[in-house]
Amino acid sequence: MLSKSIIPSTVNADLQKEREGASFNSEEFAAWWAGGPEQLKFKRSVKEYMYKDINLDERANFHYLSHEDICEFAVKNSINVAKKLRQLQAERNPGGSEYWPTLYEEPDLAGLHLAGNPFGVMYVMVVKALKAQCTAEQYEEFGKRLEQFEVCAAYAQTELGHGTYLRGLETRADFDRDTDEFVLNTPTISAYKWWPGGLGHSANYSLVMAQLYIDNQLKGPHLFYVQVREEGTHEPRPGVHIGEIGKKMGFLGVNNGFLGMKDVRIPRNRLLMRHVQVHRDGTYVKSPVDVLTYFAMVSTRCIIARIAYVALAVTATIATRYSAVRRQSPIDPKLPEVQIIDHVTQQLKVFPEIATSMAHRLCFDYLWDLFNVTSKDIDQGRYERLPELHALSCALKVISSTDATRGTERLRLACGGHGYLTSSNLGNIYAHMSASCTYEGENTVLLLQIGRFLIKSWRAAQKGDPLPPTARYLAEVQRNPEFGAWTGSWENMTKAMQFAAANKTRLAFQSLSKRLDKGESEEVAASHTGIELTQAAELHGRAFIFHCFITEITGPKSKTRSPSLNRVLEQLLELYLVNMTLNNMSDILRVVSLTDGDLSKLQTRLETALTKLRPDAVAIVDGFDFIDGQLNSTLGSFDGNALERIFDAALKAPMNQKSVPKSFHEYLGPFMKSNL
C-alpha cells in the first residue's frame, strides 16, 4: 500500500493545454453565467467559506456506510451546513437573510449535502407554501418558527396509493364544530402519506394535504399544518404513525417517510387560510382560484428545472474534463492515441449536453421572472397569468428533468467503464435526476396538463380570443397554415418547431373532437387522445426553449458581451438548434418541405458546430465555475489528474485496509481445504 498521496500537485498537461488554447476568456463566461461580476464574486466568496475545512476522507467513504449511518451522516452534515451559514450571516451582515436561510438549498452548496438534505424540502416547499398561503397572523404564529429552524417540517402530499392526481387523495380532515378543530385520518393503507423528504425521523411538523369535509360534504384538497412529533422528546404525537419508507436508488439520506393518522386533532387555524377560510360556525369560503392551493408546487417545479440544468452542467463538466485527459484509440494508426475529445463521436455525446444545460438555464431565468410577476399579481387579486405559468412550469420541469436524466446517462457512458465507478459521482447524480422525473408531478401527467392547456388555447384561437404570449404561435399558424420556404436560419428553425407543435395540437384537437362526436365525454376523449396530447406538449416546450435561447443569445443583452464570448455562445446555440431540429425531424417534416439536400446541410452544420466548439469545450465548462467540492468526482477535478484520483479512491476503500478479508478465513479458505 502506498504511504503518501499519489495525486500530483500539478495540473494535467493536456487539460492545461486546452485552457491555454481557448479562444475566449472563461472568466467573462463565468461572470455572465453567474449573472454579473458582483454575483460571481459573491458566489465564490460563499463557496470558499462553506467548502473550506471539509473532511475529505469522510466524504470519500460515506457510500460505504450502512443505510442508518448514511441517514445519521446526512442529518449531521446538513445541520453543520446550517450552522456554518448562520455563522457566515452573523459575520458579514447580522440580522440579514442573504446567506441564512436563503442559501441553505442553493445548488452551489449541493456538494455539501452528499447524502441529500433531509431539511431541504422545508425551505424549498414548506416555508414558501406558508408564506404564500398563510394569513399574516398564521405566519407570525407558526411560520416564522419554521423559517428560523426552531422546528422542522415536511410537505406531506403524496400517498402510498395516490400521487399526482390530488383529487384522489384519501387523507381527510373533518371539521368538528363542537371543539373548533379539524380531525385528520388516513382511513386506509393507501391513504398513508408516502415519500415526503425528512418526514421519517427528521421533521416534527408537516404540511398535510387532505380532503376537507364539513358536515361530511367534500370541499376538495386543502393544506393543514400538523404537529407530528413532540418538540422536546421527538416522540410521535398521539394518533400519529410515522417512520421511514426504506432505502432508495438515490437521495440516500433524505429520510423520506410515511405518515398515518387516526383522529389527530388540530386547531381550526391550522388550515392555511389566506385564500380559503372555514369560519367558527363551519361556513366555508372558497378560494378565488383553485390552483392557488397548489401554488407551492408551481414554485417547486420551477426550482426542479433549476436543479436539473445545474446537474447537467455538473455532469457535462466531469465528462468534458475527463474526455480531455483520457487518451484512447489513434485516429491515424501511425500516430499515438489521441484525447478522446478529438473523436467526433465523443463530441456528439458531450457537447450537446453543455448546450442543453445552457438553454435550460436561460429558460429558467425567463420562467422565474414570470413566477415573480405572477406572484405579485396574485397579491393584488389578479390571476390572468396563472394558466401560462402553470403550463410553462410543467413544460420546463418535464423537459429539463428528462433531458438531465438522459444526458447524465449519456455522459456517464461517454466516460467509459470509469463512469460506472461510484467515485465518478455520475451514478449518484443520475439517481437524483431520475427521481425528478416523478416527484412533484409525474412527467407524463404534467404533459397531459400542458396538452389540456394547448387544446384550450387552440379553441380560443379559433374564436379569435387572446392567447398567452408563449401560445400565440397557435393563432398565427391558424391564420397562416403554410410554413413557407425553409431557409435553415435560427428563426426559421424556431418557426419550424412551433409549426410542428401547432400541427400536433391540431391533430390532437381533431382526434379529441372525433371522439366527442362519437359520444365520449370530454374526460374520456382526452384520455384516449393522451398520446397525441403528450407529443404536442413536448413540442410546445421545445418551441419555447428555442425561442428563449435565441432571444437571450442574440437579443439586446449580447451588446454587453465581448465578441469572443458572443461567438462561443452563438456556436452553442447553433449546436443546440441544429441537433434538436434533427432529433425532431419526423414531426418537422410533416409541416415543412425539406429536401435531401437540406437534411445533408443540417448534418454538415452539426459536424461543423462540434468542430468549432472543440477548442473551447474545456474553457466553457470551466466557466460554469464549479469547484471540486461541488463535482465530488475523481474524473472531473480541476487539475485533471483523473487516473491518479481513481486509484487513490480505490486505495482508501475500506476493503483495502486489510490484506486478507475476514471471509477468507471463515468461508473461502476452509472450503478450498475441504476438497483436499
Q: Which residues are annotated as a binding site for FAD?
A: 158, 197
Single-letter residue type at 573: L
Q: What are phi and psi of 442, to 5 degrees?
A: -60, 140
Count the Cβ atoms, other than its own, within 10 Å of residue 536: 28
Q: Give SS3 for 124.
A: helix
- The residue with cell 456528439 is 348
Instruction: Give the count of alpha carbons within 13 A of 485, CB side only.
Output: 2
The cell numbers describing 442, all together, are: 409525474
Output the 3-class SS for 328-375: CCCCCCCCCCCEHHHCHHHHHHHHHHHHHHHHHHHHHHHHHHHHHHHH
CA dihedral angle for residue 488, residue 490, residue 494, residue 496, rounded to 10 degrees: 0
Pairing relationship of beta strands 153-156 and 205-214 according to DSSP bridges: parallel
The cell numbers describing 652, all together, are: 482508501
CA dihedral angle for residue 610, residue 612, residue 617, residue 623, rounded to 10 degrees: -130
From the list 563, 669, 638, the residue with the least C-alpha distance to 317 is 638
The cell numbers describing 3, all together, are: 504511504
Cα 167 → chain centroid: 25
Q: Which residues contact 104 (CB under 8 A, 6 or more apart)?
A: 81, 82, 85, 117, 119, 120, 123
Give start and end residues of each alpha helix (H) in 236-294. none
From the list 568, 45, 34, 630, the residue with the least C-alpha distance to 314 is 630
CA distance 570 to 18: 20
CA distance 320 to 322: 5
Q: With contact defined as beta carbons under 8 Å apart, do 509 and 460 qualify?
A: no
Residues annotated as catalytic (active site), given as ranges = 440
Single-letter residue type at 163: G
Single-letter residue type at 249: M
How does DSSP assign 504-568, residue by residue?
A: HHHHHHHHHHHHHHTT--HHHHHHHTHHHHHHHHHHHHHHHHHHHHHHHHHSGGGGGS-HHHHHH
- Annotated binding-site residue numbers: 158, 197
- Strands (DSSP E) along 237-288, which ranges? 240-244, 257-261, 264-267, 277-278, 284-285
Q: With contact defined as beta carbons under 8 Å apart, do 224 and 271 qualify?
A: yes
Cis peptide before 101 (omega within 30 of 0): yes
Q: With contact defined as beta carbons under 8 Å apart, do 428 and 250 qualify?
A: yes
Q: Give SS3 for 624.
A: coil
CA distance 551 to 545: 10
Q: With contact defined as beta carbons under 8 Å apart, do 253 and 118 qualify?
A: yes
